[in-house]
Structure 1
Amino acid sequence: MGRENQTLMSEFILLGLSSFWETQVSLFVLFLAMYLVTMLGNFLIILLIRMDSRLNTPMYFFLSVLSFVDICYSNSIVPQMLVHFLSTSKSIPFHNCLLQLSISLAMGSTEFFLLGAMAYDRYVAVCHPLHYAAIMHGGLCLGLAAGCLVAGFMNSLMETIITFRLPLCNNVLNHFACETLAVLQLACVDISFNKVMVAISGFLVIMLPCSLVLFSYGHIVAAILCIRSAQGRRKAFETCASHLAVVSMCFGTTIFTYMRPEAGSSAEQEKMVSLFYAVVTPMLNPLIYSLRNKEVMSALRRVWEKISEKR
């Protein structure tokens, strides 16, 4: 029955965020501007790290990977959403929906694991500064980044398979993108098993990295408090402030979406939180890391001076 339904399901209809034309045009302009800022900011972060040798450190290596992940995540959802704002037919082919769900899940999962790896990097930098270069060598950094990507794609593959093997009763998704919880609402059968798997996935992808972050920052705070000089404490805290802000934003919104009781949720709430994570967070990440980071701003000035001299 499941395979027959999936064969007949050639496309999905997305209800989106609004049915009013004026509102959709306004949202198109707003989210287009946010999308352009996201692309520009993340590409600029990657470019600066590659062009400035002073940023060739583990911290900025992970930051460049995070920017790459944010670019992929935004491109998996936002362009389709922008097209639908100006379209009368908000349909998406079945295979495109499957691809969108798998890529967004993979990039979202990778980001959580990556934030955990970045927390470990900050832990080593603050708590073991004399051994930092020896511990966080190039091989370990590449291994951690690759491990985050592999774990993210494995989680995506598992969730995508068990979600799209379900027989679906209709093709109207109350969402602006193909999202696991929205697709599950279309199932004709009991989805208790899927809910258990989503909960397990949420624990592994969200709570385990979050636990690593809490463990790392617990030790970081203890180490900072042991520093005698106020200047030393401020400098140590500044190295972690940007990452801590991004961690709080990413984990906070996702935990609210997936880990809260089902009775307290609604489709509109889930769309708003998903929208924040899909559009706002990737835009804020490079802004937080650049505006709050003196090294990044210095690198931007040096690159700008080089470009100005060539002119």
Structure 2
Amino acid sequence: MWSRFVLGFLLAITTLIPESDGETVKTPLKSKADIFRLLLNQETLIRSALEKKVFGLVNDVGDMKEIMINNKKEIVYLKNENQELKAKTIKQLRDARIKMTTLKKENQDLQAETSKQLKIAEEESVALRNKIQALNAKFQSQANVTNLLSADVEESKKTHRKLSSAVLSLESFQKNISLLRSLVKDTPVAFTTGMTSSSSSWYGDILVFPHVITNKGQGYSSSSGKFTAPRDGTYVFTVTAVSWSSYYLHLDIAHNGVSKVRTYSQNSYQTGTNLVVLELDRGDAVWVKRHSGQGYYSGSVPITTFSGFLL
């Protein structure tokens, strides 16, 4: 039915028939051959047009495939870049949070330190204010003291004049003392003491010589048995002791309690003697003390004696 309709339509109309030179002219359809020839020409034209369109579509499809492949590659690249950017962003955010936490803590520490320093500064300010007040009071007190000192200076001047007079008197007194010392220095110091009786039982520490023969300068004491130096100098001391019968006796000359020399008297009334030179300061003491043994022998004219003198 469709073919009949086409044939009827083609017979009823005038169509364009292409000539051999490519131009088309209007030619009325007169026979079936004309119709078939027209159909063949139309088919050829349609097929050619379709082939061109198919080739164009194939090329377009190829281009689209290549574009899609490139787009896929670009999408993969963008996905990877997006993931890297996301990871980098997450890391930066994490670092930023850590840094913010650190900065927050440092800010808190700084605030605490600032508060502490401000408190210390306030305390120091209060202390300084109190100190200034104390200094003002002290300055006022010193002003009062200055006034008093001015009065004291006037009084000191009067006292100075009195002291000058006293110094002159003291210098005169020192001259007199120097004169007296020179006289004392010329005074001899010497002593000789002895025993005028014997003792077989004496067993003491200090041998006291009660019989005083000479005592220039009054340095020897017959009650204590000690010689006390009246002034500094070089002194010579000697002791002579005779042992009693069969007893032995060893005596020392002691300077302030320290033994310096020793006598040695064995039995049968043996005589022991010794001598020492000592540097004495004024007030030093020298005496004869027992080292060992007991008893001593002497007579009305002393045999056991103790002497000393200043060189």
The bucket for the TM-score relative to the shorter chain is under 0.3
- Relative contact order (alpha carbons < 8 A, sep ≥ 6): 1 or 2 greater? 1
Kindly indicate which of the two structures has a greater share of residues assigned to strand: 2
What is the TM-score when the length of structure 2 is the normalising length?
A: 0.15
